[in-house]
Amino acid sequence: MGNDSLVSRAERSLVLNNPSTENPRQQVTAMETFVKKRSFISEARSPQKKIKLESDEGMEQDEEDEEFSHPVPWQKIEAEGLDCDYALLFSKEEADNLCKQLEEEVVYSTGEEAKVQVFGKVYDIPRKQATYGDAGLTYTYSRVTRLANSWTPTLEYIRDAVTKTTGQAFNFVLVNRYKDGQDHMGEHRDDEKELDPLCPIASVSLGAPRDFIFRHRDARGKQSLRQIEPVKLELAHGSLLLMNSPTNTFWYHSLPVRKKSSLPRINLTFRRIVVDRKK
């Protein structure tokens, strides 16, 4: 995710230990224990109920009884100004296979694109990154503009699965690979101007489960304006987290260091870039 910060501000957060399970429903239920009590979780259907299909004449028509082809049990995560949907998108077996395929296909950035500038100093990004998407798309974050590589077969497959589940179309993905719990991502918001404000950011997690922490913008730092509890959860292997508007306006998110985690994790954040603004 964009606007990288090297130093996580969530190191005082509670260490969460969620035993893994191969039962998707058990994983979704167990996930509830990782959200602070002040946030609200409820079961929900897919964020959108219908798919709009194009007829042979090119006209859009509503298919009233057509449900998404990948129905999943959703969990709603809410707090003041925070609106997210969480579900297990892939079974453990499929998630394992996707992880292996991505390890073979994805080519990560090197050189200057693997560095970030913070307060005038240049640092290595504490994880590997890659950008893929539709031809010609670029995305600027952390003061670096990155050109999208062509979609790989596995990235296309995952993108299409997310679209079938949510009804949202995505033209760009940022891939972050964490070799272990030492790799991390500091607090930031995905609020770049080229992103479509009406489209959620879809975050797919594969590999080792990792803690994910939301912190309200008014509750950050020693001189915070308000006392608002952070929202903490664990992103499971094969899971999908939708960050809906206005979440990225009010809440920062991070993936803090977890020294006990020794396995790799790959995170895919699918976005929709407004093409007209790139011309």
Q: Is there a contact between 71 and 46 (Cβ–Cβ < 8 Å)? A: yes
Q: Please report the pLDDT score of residue 223 as a whole number.
A: 82
Q: Is there a contact between 268 and 204 (Cβ–Cβ < 8 Å)? A: yes
Residue 154, annotated as binding a ligand: no
Q: Please report the pLDDT score of residue 277 as a whole number.
A: 53
Residue 141, annotated as binding a ligand: yes
Distance CA 171, CA 148 (A): 10
Q: What is the mean pLDDT of residues 148-168?
A: 97
Residue 253, annotated as binding a ligand: yes
Domain chopping of the chain, boundaries = 78-271
Q: What is the mean pLDDT of residues 162-183?
A: 96
Residue 269, annotated as binding a ligand: yes
Q: How confident is the model at residue 18 (pLDDT cuts 50, 70, 90)?
A: very low
Q: Please report the pLDDT score of residue 70 as a whole number.
A: 55
Superfamily of domain 78-271 in CATH is Alpha-ketoglutarate-dependent dioxygenase AlkB-like (2.60.120.590)
Q: How far is CA 13 from CA 8, 35, 162, 231, in A?
A: 11, 12, 30, 10
Q: Please report the pLDDT score of residue 61 as a whole number.
A: 36
Q: Is there a contact between 217 and 253 (Cβ–Cβ < 8 Å)? A: no
Q: What is the mean pLDDT of residues 21-27?
A: 44
Angle between helices 153-166 and 92-105 (to 10 degrees): 140
> How many CB atoms sit inside 10 A of residue 228's CB?
21
Answer with the residue of higher pLDDT: 277 or 129. Answer: 129
Q: How confident is the model at residue 64 (pLDDT cuts 50, 70, 90)?
A: very low
Most confident of 5-19, 20-34, 190-204: 190-204
Residue 176, annotated as binding a ligand: yes
Phi, psi of 69 (to 5 degrees): -75, -10
Answer with the residue of higher pLDDT: 210 or 223. Answer: 210
Residue 271, annotated as binding a ligand: yes
Residue 188, annotated as binding a ligand: yes
Above 70 in pLDDT, residue 33?
no
Above 70 in pLDDT, residue 62?
no
Give the chain's mean pLDDT: 78
Phi, psi of 158 (to 5 degrees): -65, -40
Residue 265, annotated as binding a ligand: yes
Distance CA 103, CA 101 (A): 5
Reduced to 3 states, what is the DSSP secondary structure of residue 157? helix
Residue 248, annotated as binding a ligand: no
Residue 190, annotated as binding a ligand: no
Residue 170, annotated as binding a ligand: no
Q: Please report the pLDDT score of residue 145 as a whole number.
A: 82
Nearest to 28 by CA among 41, 13, 17: 41
Q: Please report the pLDDT score of residue 146 as a whole number.
A: 86
End-to-end CA distance of the chain: 23
Reduced to 3 states, what is the DSSP secondary structure of residue 150? coil
Residue 121, annotated as binding a ligand: yes
Residue 218: exposure state from Cβ atoms within 10 A (0-12, 13-18, ≥19)? middle
